[in-house]
Chain A
Amino acid sequence: MKDFLKPHRVVLIVLALALVAWCALSLNWTWLANPKYQLLIVQGIWRTIWLVVVTMVIGMILAVPIGLAQAAGPWYVSAPARVFCTVIRGTPLLMQIWLLYYGLGSLFPSIPWIKQSDLWPYLRQAWPYAVVALSLSVAGYEGEVMRGAFKGVPHGQLEAAKAMGMSPFTLLRRIWLPQALQRVLPTLGGETVSQLKSTPLVSTITIVEIYAVTSRIRQDTFIIYEPLLLLAVVYMCLTGLIVLLFRWFEGRTPTRTA
């Protein structure tokens, strides 16, 4: 603590607090007292968190076979996986979201059996497209990381498992996948933060998460800066939360270093 509170830093902290106080007092925060907006903000934050968690989980589940296909699959499996990763990582996420939402959204109504299926009520909404686009993005980026992780598992481990007579599936489940996942774990925190920072893009396809909520408040009240400042603070808090969560998680996972 003493190390942290050097004289110049005390001055900087005081200046920062003064800036915060100035923001709190001289800017217009009256809209925050409106219960309608309070509810919207809480719902927006919740929806953002929901999107991050759901798409990270789906994306990681997809990333495992994509990584495995690239690391060990025959060419007719690895080539499509590689193309998928290249396209996802080489084109802007905003464009992928718009292609799925506007493209598929205009294609589906013209196909009769989709329109009659039970899925149609969901396909008319925006959130399935947002979830799919964000999940595929995670799958593309993490699939590439998983490829490296699968390749990084020492060969002796796999040979030993084979020598023990393990079937390929048991080998994957007991030896290869756990060790690969352990290698990926340190990158997951950063990837989750990137995913959080990608979520405002889905507000362009009418998903009402926290970014869309503040846009709406800005349109309703004609206040430009204050909702944006609140938005930045919310994202900083969420980022901090993710970083702390993963630090705690990493501290708990047993690692043995020789």
Chain B
Amino acid sequence: MNGLEAIAAASALDLLALSPPGWGATLLAGLGNSVIIALGAYGLGFAIGLCGAFGKLYGGPVLKDLLAVYTTIVRAVPELVLILILFYAFTGLLNQMLLSWGMERVQISPIITGIVVLGVVQGAYQTEVLRGGILAVPAGQIEAARAMGMPSVLLARRITLPLMTANALPGMANLWLNATKDTALLAVIGFSELTKATYQASATTKAFFVFYPAAMALYLLISLTSTVLIGRLEKWARRGQRDVRGL
């Protein structure tokens, strides 16, 4: 039995080797794609979310209603369906625009498509989290800043954003973990990120119990390191706040 186990372990290592007979390089390339898309989508989602949160709180009535429709629809429909709709709509619209301007059709890189599509989804969730974070900033702080005559951009930069960071961080951390896991959905539309790479590797070699645990370990590595880093970030964001434990 020991001999068999040794052979199994050796072949597992061979399968995961970085050079071509092994699939390690494919998995790592998939991991790289996943991380790039997650980072890009999260960044785009943050830009949308920040605008959306301020729009929902301080915007005009029409803007508020439109944002409500956006966040409600995106949060009610499965990400996979949104990805398909946005995937076709985004590439279709862009090509229609290009054609009407008399330009050639373009094949948009799948990474850009993935980032835009997941970014729009992230934006809806981040809008809600950031809105909650802003609402939790004591009103007196913002009123005081207004009374000092601060223009609204300066007020956001100096008062609202620093004070809301600690409130919004737990929710934002959750959304970051969601973003990394949602990249797996792009496998369904044929994009070669970590899950798709794992699928290809295991379908070719039939070594399902080598590649799936390995890929899961990579995903866990991302989420565990993120959790540690975010914990530090939150500690930093809460500096100067009174500790409520033990009261």
**Structural contact, A211 and B61, CB atoms closer than 8 A:** no
Assess whether A86 is interfacial by the CB under 8 Å rule. Answer: yes
Q: How near does chain B come to A19, taking the closest CB pair, in angstroms?
A: 11
B 179-221 to A, binary, CB cutoff 8 A, 1 in contact else 0: 0011111011000000100110011001011001001100110
Q: How many chain B residues have a CB neighbour from A under 8 Å?
A: 39
Given the known interface contacts A8-B65, A197-B77, the answer about A102 and B224 at a Cβ–Cβ threshold of 8 Å is: no
Would you list which residues of chain A between 1 and 57 have a CB under 8 Å from chain B? 6, 8-9, 12
Given the known interface contacts A8-B65, A103-B212, A106-B208, the answer about A94 and B187 at a Cβ–Cβ threshold of 8 Å is: yes
Q: How far is the CA of A224 from the CA of B21 in the complex (A)?
A: 39
Assess whether A232 is interfacial by the CB under 8 Å rule. Answer: yes
**Structural contact, A200 and B78, CB atoms closer than 8 A:** yes
Residue of chain B at shortest CB distance from A99:
B212
**Structural contact, A236 and B77, CB atoms closer than 8 A:** yes
Q: How far is the CA of A228 from the CA of B84 in the complex (A)?
A: 8
Would you list which residues of chain B between 41 and 74 have a CB under 8 Å from chain A? 61-62, 65-66, 73
Q: How near does chain A come to B180, taking the closest CB pair, in angstroms?
A: 8
Q: How near does chain A come to B115, taking the closest CB pair, in angstroms?
A: 17
Residue of chain A at shortest CB distance from B85:
A228
**Structural contact, B220 and A95, CB atoms closer than 8 A:** no
Q: How far is the CA of A102 from the CA of B78 in the complex (A)?
A: 24
Q: How many chain A residues have a CB neighbour from B under 8 Å?
A: 38
Q: How far is the CA of A197 from the CA of B77 in the complex (A)?
A: 7
Given the known interface contacts A12-B62, A224-B88, the answer about A95 and B81 at a Cβ–Cβ threshold of 8 Å is: no
Report 13 cross-chain contacts, Cβ distance below 8 Å, ordered by A residue: A86-B224, A91-B219, A92-B219, A94-B195, A95-B184, A99-B216, A102-B199, A103-B209, A200-B80, A232-B73, A235-B78, A236-B73, A236-B76
Known: A92-B185, A201-B185. 4 other contacts (CB 8 A): A93-B181, A107-B209, A228-B81, A235-B78
Shortest beta-carbon contacts, A-B, top 9: A92-B184, A103-B208, A197-B78, A239-B76, A90-B223, A99-B212, A92-B181, A91-B216, A91-B219
